[in-house]
Amino acid sequence: MAMNKNTVLAWATVLMIIMGILLILMGAYRYDDVAGWGFATVGIGFFAIAWVFNALKGRV
């Protein structure tokens, strides 16, 4: 399977979304103190980076 630029960005987007969901869920269910807010914030940041990767597909 040939990995061109768009395929790499697509896989990076999928992995970032999965990690973002995991971080938000850890923040919601694992930690009950301020650390939970930090995990959720980082998870939202992962979503933002995945959005940028998705927007770059076909342009790089």
Q: What is the pLDDT of residues 3-57, one digit of tens each?
A: 888 888 889 899 999 999 999 999 988 888 888 899 899 999 999 999 998 888 8
Quote the pLDDT of residue 37.
Answer: 92
Separation CA 30–CA 18 (nearest Å): 17
Q: How many domains does the chain have?
A: 1
* pTM, 2 dp: 0.81
